[in-house]
Structure 1
Amino acid sequence: MSKETVGLIGLGAMGAGIAATLRRNGHALRVCDARPGVAAAFAAEGGTACANPAEVAQGSDVVVSVVVNAQQTEAVLFGEHGAAAAMAAGSVFVMCSTVDPNWSVALEARLAALGLLYIDGPISGGAAKAAGGQMTMMTAGTPAAYAKAGGVLDAMAGKVYRLGDQAGAGSKVKIINQLLAGVHIAAAAEAMALGLREGVDAAALYEVITHSAGNSWMFENRMAHVLAGDYTPLSAVDIFVKDLGLVLDTARASKFPLPLAATAHQMFMQASTAGHAAEDDSAVIKIFPGITLPKAG
């Protein structure tokens, strides 16, 4: 039986890895990206480069969107040359961004009115895991959507969690993950900054912490960027300004206190305003005064 044709929109750090994984797993791919030449470069090794989301959607059984936020997703679907009008009835739109869960619920209803199925499917794991087919998906959708797109989801990710039969549950779990991720990065930066302030050798501190109870995945991953003096954005400071903002918005609606998330959000806001918005999120360490950071080798 032939595999589904997949349209993928957004060939950034995560999207490019997902597209390569799907291609490796035998899916015919139609791809596009807002940056000139990116889709053509990918398609040179297999797949079809398209000019816009509508062209991607034509002939695709499943359309996967890997863009930054809800606003970009709206443009992908309903903007000029949007995918929604070009998708065949009964095809599936898979939304991989971190968004307000209520917005995701509303999007499912909008697409259903057009005869389209929807998977609320935020992703986690980073570019390397996306490229290796080992990322995590936190998904929710109707049984019909899973019946059509389940094989594609399993081809994209190492773990596909099915968290509910309607949109919203996937996005809720993702923003809780982002609460922890943001707080862990902020805490890791604070710890490394204190070590630098106290004159501890940064490499020695990193070695000890990564083999001790205080370690976290974020400390191990992000403080390696600080040691290398490399703030090339794999996930930018402004991503956590957005994501922790979503966390706080969700909690505010039910008057639920999140003191650690609020503090971490302020730290990323400070880093963004200080000129580090587009740098790697580990650049949150640059808000601390009176320290000398390692320089790029």
Structure 2
Amino acid sequence: MKTVWTGPEVGAGTALKLACNAWIASITAAAAQSLALAGALGLDPKLFLTAIEGAPADCGYAHAKGEGMLAGSYEPQFTLDAALKDVDLIDGAARGAGVDTTLLAALRGLYGEASAAGHGREDLAAVYTSFRGPGGTGS
């Protein structure tokens, strides 16, 4: 755990949390898309994780969530529905600050689809099912 001093302004910590959770929701969905794309193109999806390993674009979080995605293991650390709720909060904050929300709309759609398919209480990595066709059963 890490503590970051955001200053004396009330709400600054919450604002930083929203920015951090936007990153988490984004990289989780991006990893899911890349894994699904690799598989749909006839590759072993694990090759994506191998390819980014040690590169500037590498991210330990992508490996941790990616392995779970490929195993179909979505033991919740942070539920998909909680991530969806945060995406809505982030969207409201972004709109209020004049920040474009195009990516947030896409994330809302992806996480919303996975939630509607019954994955809301699973880990947010279950967003992977949104990239794998109806019911998350394959491309």
Give the TM-score of the pair, scaled to structure 2: 0.86
Aligned-partner Cα distance in 1 for 2:4–2:48: 36
Match of 1:177 in 2: 20
Mark the structure with the bigger radius of gyration: 1
Residue 34 of structure 2 contacts residue 48 of structure 2 at CA under 8 Å; is this kept in 1?
no
Percentage of identical aligned residues: 29
Look up the equivalent residue of 1:263 and give its one-letter code: A
Q: Identify, as 1 or 2, the structure richer in strand.
A: 1
User: Structure 2: how far apart are the matches of 1:194 and 1:232?
Assistant: 23
| Selected match of 2:83 from 240, 247, 252 | 240
Matched positions, count: 136
Which residue number in structure 2 is paired with residue 153 of structure 1?
Answer: none
By percentage of residues, which structure has more helix?
A: 2
SS in 2 for 1:231: coil
1: CA distance between counterparts of 2:70 and 2:130? 16
State the 1:258 CA deviation.
2.4
> Following the alignment from structure 2 to structure 1, what is the Cα–Cα distance between the partners of residues 115 and 137?
19
Task: Return the alpha-carbon distance in structure 2 between the equivalents of residues 191 and 276 of structure 1.
Answer: 20
What is the DSSP-based 3-state SS (H/G/I as helix, E as strand, rest coil) of the residue aligned with 1:270?
A: helix
Q: Partner letter of residue 54 of structure 2? A: H
1:155 is aligned to none
1:196–1:292 CA contact under 8 A, matched in 2? no
AA of the residue aligned to 1:196: G
CA distance in 1 between partners of 2:11 and 2:91 (Å):
16
Secondary structure of the residue aligned to 1:161 is coil
From the superposition, tell whether residues 164 and 192 of structure 1 become closer, same or farther in structure 2 (CA, over 3 Å).
same
* Matching residue within 125, 137, 161 for 2:4: 161
C-alpha displacement of 1:180: 1.0
- Whether the aligned pair in 2 keeps the contact of 1:236 and 1:277 (CA below 8 Å) is yes
The question of whether the paired residues in 1 share the 8 Å contact of 2:36 and 2:45 is answered with no
- Corresponding residue of 1:208: 51
Out of 24, 30, 34, the position equivalent to 1:187 is 30
Distance 1:162 1:261 in 2: 26
CA distance in 2, matches of 1:168, 1:238: 23
**TM-superposition CA deviations, 1:11-34 (whole Å, max 9, x none):** xxxxxxxxxxxxxxxxxxxxxxxx
Quote the residue 1:249 is aligned against.
92
Aligned equivalent of 1:220: 63
* 1:73-125 deviation digits (Å, cap 9, x = unpaired): xxxxxxxxxxxxxxxxxxxxxxxxxxxxxxxxxxxxxxxxxxxxxxxxxxxxx
Structure 1 vs Structure 2 CA RMSD: 2.0
Quote how far apart the aligned CAs of 1:252 are. Answer: 1.7
* Whole-Å separation in 2 of the counterparts to 1:217 and 1:267: 22
> Deviation of residue 284 (structure 1)?
0.4
The alpha-carbon deviation at position 167 of structure 1 amounts to 2.2
Q: What is the CA distance between 1:188 and its match in structure 2?
A: 0.7
Q: Does the 8 Å CA contact 1:182/1:261 hold for their aligned counterparts?
A: no
What stretches of structure 1 move > 6 A for 4+ residues in a row? none
Structure 1, unmatched stretches of 5+, are 1-134, 137-159
Look up the equivalent residue of 1:208 and give its one-letter code. A
Structure 2's unaligned 5+ residue stretches are none
TM-score by length of 1: 0.43
AA in 2 matched with 1:224: E
SS of the equivalent of 1:181 reads helix
Q: Corresponding residue for 2:39?
A: 196
